[in-house]
A and B are shown apart, each in its own frame.
Chain A
């Protein structure tokens, strides 16, 4: 099984996540797109680990998961607090820092 396929899959998933983050205005879906990009990166890291015959790629993927967990906690707390004050989960409505 050619490991290149996994990398192509990871690149496709990363691109799809980018589209989601740029296009969607629901903060939660944009956040999910970030998760998708992180997952794609993890897949690439695991594949690199297998290609190079080195466990370090899997360690990096493990740390990415830890950071993603912390990021989800803080990000969702921010979304909830913004929703509480502005009654909206749309990223268009959080515009107080504009201009």
Chain B
């Protein structure tokens, strides 16, 4: 019978070590910080598996929870604050910096590998003999709350200091006073006193007009169109129905009441006759028709 020479630990190592190294290289090379964060997440999860394979299940859990779960999410939150699309410019500001950095890092890696290899070859590997009975977590608890209790308590001060530091650094002084309802009202009235801006709410689109769609400006009682009743973004896109066309009907009626000869044909002005859909004003009429369809569509949606 063939004894399997490959253990689970070896499989985990040789499967994950290339992935870890590739993810680390990707983290350093990625242009976008989000891709770097993904690479770092891969490295951290891979290292967690290595901890588990090296009889450190407690550190495996802590690595996943603290590093991958908390620290990396904090990184991602800050990425969102700072701007995900803040890509690095890959232009070298110092000449030859990248080459020098690569050489230095290669030297450092070679040195570390040499030292460690030497230490391992020279020293001898001792088997794992736990000090106390129990599993990994119990041994760690014994050590943390025994020999290292003072350092462990000191970390409490460290963490509290870090939390305070984050609060102080992220704090922003309020420059002006709070904008309360009373203050808003006062500001509105002051604006009314200064340049006559109406303090109340503006006219809603479509009021006094023939359509209640948002692209139709409101008609004021005097027949003029209220430009402020339509969203400025709609106006910028050119999607607004021409107010003067809509006002024409009112004007026509007023003229008729005054006993003057109204300008133009009634049917044409009201947009109901066949001539109105004719060659005279095809384009604007099509626009109004589109508005009609849109309002009908919204009405149908409302009905649903």
The reply to whether A19 and B28 form a contact with Cβ atoms under 8 Å apart is yes
The reply to whether B144 and A59 form a contact with Cβ atoms under 8 Å apart is yes
Residue with the highest number of chain A CB atoms closer than 10 Å, among B9, B50, B55, B126: B50
Report the stretch among B164-172, B226-234, B273-281 that lies at the interface.
B164-172
CA distance A23 to B56 in the complex (A): 33
Instruction: Tally A residues with Cβ within 8 Å of B.
Output: 72
Contact with A along B156-168 (1 / 0, CB 8 A): 0011011101100
The reply to whether A83 and B81 form a contact with Cβ atoms under 8 Å apart is yes
The reply to whether B82 and A79 form a contact with Cβ atoms under 8 Å apart is yes
Enumerate chain A residues within 8 angstroms of B74, measured Cβ to Cβ. Answer: 72-73, 76
What's the interface size class on B, roughly?
35 or more
Enumerate chain A residues within 8 angstroms of B131, measured Cβ to Cβ. Answer: 54-55
Q: How far is the CB of A12 from chain B (nearest CB, A)?
A: 6
Q: How far is the CB of B88 from chain A (nearest CB, A)?
A: 4
Indicate whether A53 sits within 8 Å of B17 (C-beta atoms), given known contacts A1-B7, A28-B33, A89-B86. Answer: no
Indicate whether A39 sits within 8 Å of B47 (C-beta atoms), given known contacts A1-B13, A53-B128. Answer: yes
Enumerate chain A residues within 8 angstroms of B93, measured Cβ to Cβ. Answer: 25, 92
Chain A interface, >50% SS class: helix
The reply to whether B56 and A49 form a contact with Cβ atoms under 8 Å apart is yes
B303 CB-CB contact with A under 8 Å: no
The reply to whether A22 and B169 form a contact with Cβ atoms under 8 Å apart is no
The reply to whether B75 and A28 form a contact with Cβ atoms under 8 Å apart is yes
Enumerate chain A residues within 8 angstroms of B163, measured Cβ to Cβ. Answer: 73
The reply to whether A43 and B50 form a contact with Cβ atoms under 8 Å apart is yes
Enumerate chain B residues within 8 angstroms of A94, measured Cβ to Cβ. Answer: none
Name B88's contact: one of A18, A80, A90 (CB within 8 Å). A90
> Could you list some 19 contacts between A and B, CB below 8 A?
A3-B120, A9-B13, A10-B116, A12-B109, A13-B21, A16-B105, A18-B104, A19-B105, A32-B75, A46-B59, A51-B126, A55-B131, A58-B58, A59-B148, A70-B159, A74-B166, A80-B169, A80-B170, A90-B88
Contacts A3-B120, A9-B20, A11-B116 given; 12 further ones with Cβ under 8 A? A3-B125, A7-B120, A11-B112, A28-B79, A29-B27, A29-B88, A42-B63, A66-B155, A69-B162, A74-B166, A79-B82, A80-B78
Name B's A-contacting residues (CB within 8 A): 7, 9-10, 13, 17, 20-21, 24-25, 27-28, 30, 33, 36-37, 40, 43-44, 47, 50-51, 54-56, 58-59, 62-63, 66-67, 70-71, 74-75, 78-79, 81-83, 86, 88-89, 93, 97-98, 101-102, 104-106, 108-109, 112-113, 116-117, 120, 123, 125-131, 136, 139-140, 143-144, 148, 151-152, 155, 158-159, 161-163, 165-166, 169-170, 172
Name A's B-contacting residues (CB within 8 A): 1, 3-20, 22-26, 28-29, 31-33, 35-36, 39, 42-44, 46-47, 49-56, 58-59, 61-63, 65-74, 76-81, 83-84, 88-90, 92
